[in-house]
Amino acid sequence: MSAIRTSSAASIAVRTPWWPDLSRRGVDLVELMDDPGCDLGLLNATYRAFPVVNGLVAGWRRVYLRRLRPVLSAEKVTRLLDLGSGGGDLARALSDWSRRDGLALEVVAVDPDDRAHAFAVSRPVPPGVEFRRASSTELVAAGETFDVVVSNHVLHHLDDEARAAVLDDSSRLATRLVLHADIERARGAYLAYRAATWPWRTRSFVHVDGLLSIRRSFTADELIDVAPRGWRVVRQWPFRLLLVREIGTDAPGGAGRADA
């Protein structure tokens, strides 16, 4: 299937293939929401759907419990940076979970896209959360640092140069931990997501863009091959990859792999 570049309601309803070639990344595919001229109403509907969709498929509650909560404190504020924060659903979720647990977390959520930033600040902003229109490179240039850097579904959007820059920026910005979460490309992920998001196929970009995202995403071995030294690829059920960097620990050779 060629890249879909229009964003009318008719284009959203186009039949995506049931059995695409998943043997390699679909790096030439363009997601509808990445088009600067896409329908703003459908884009905002997509942002509104993300808390539900990501809550079901992204697995951040488990990541929070296993990897983030142990590094947080009730006495000392932990600063966390959410890169490519989109509509802000992850930033809000992490803030909510930490507040319920009585932990001191300050979240800075950044996205260079004006449309994403406008949507994020149009919703109520919880205490301890700040939304900015900025890139990781701008934060590095400003000399900012954070205890933890995270992202959700960002890596598959990036070309090789941009991905390398984001990973390098992440290592410079974080003083303790980096967690980049993404989809693992697989037939089961594609078919399950296609069926589960069918009701959204004409009301937002959730259905079509999610399927394109899966086709653009990495397998665990592919992500290991492109990850720099010091990073680990953790596979999580179902069909999730977590690219982890614990600052100050440089493993010999290339990236490693673990299952969790």
CB 89 within 8 A of CB 49: no
Report d(CA 187, CA 162) in Å as an integer: 27
**72: three-class secondary structure by DSSP:** coil
Question: Which CATH number covers residue 58?
Answer: 3.40.50.150
pLDDT of residue 201: 82
Strands, E assignment, the chain: 78-83, 105-110, 129-132, 146-152, 174-183, 231-236, 240-246, 256-259
**Is 17 contained in some domain?**
no
**Is 11 contained in some domain?**
no
**Is 87 contained in some domain?**
yes
pLDDT of residue 255: 55
pTM: 0.91
**Is 78 contained in some domain?**
yes
Mean pLDDT, to the nearest integer, of 141-168?
Answer: 97
Q: Is the dihedral of CA 168, 173, 179, 181 positive or negative?
A: negative
Strands, E assignment, 102-248: 105-110, 129-132, 146-152, 174-183, 231-236, 240-246
**Is 51 contained in some domain?**
yes
**Is 19 contained in some domain?**
no
Range(s) of the domain holding residue 44 = 28-259
pLDDT tens digit sequence for 173-224: 999 999 999 999 999 999 999 999 988 888 899 999 999 999 999 999 999 9
pLDDT tens digit sequence for 30-87: 999 999 999 999 999 999 999 999 988 899 999 999 999 999 999 999 999 999 999 9
pLDDT of residue 181: 98
Report d(CA 99, CA 250) in Å as an integer: 32
CB 158 within 8 A of CB 230: no
pLDDT of residue 256: 54
Per the structure, the count of domains in the chain is 1
**Is 8 contained in some domain?**
no
Q: How far is CA 41 from CA 38, 48, 115, in A?
A: 9, 11, 11
pLDDT at 16 over 70: yes
pLDDT tens digit sequence for 108-143: 999 999 999 999 999 999 999 999 999 999 999 999
**Is 42 contained in some domain?**
yes
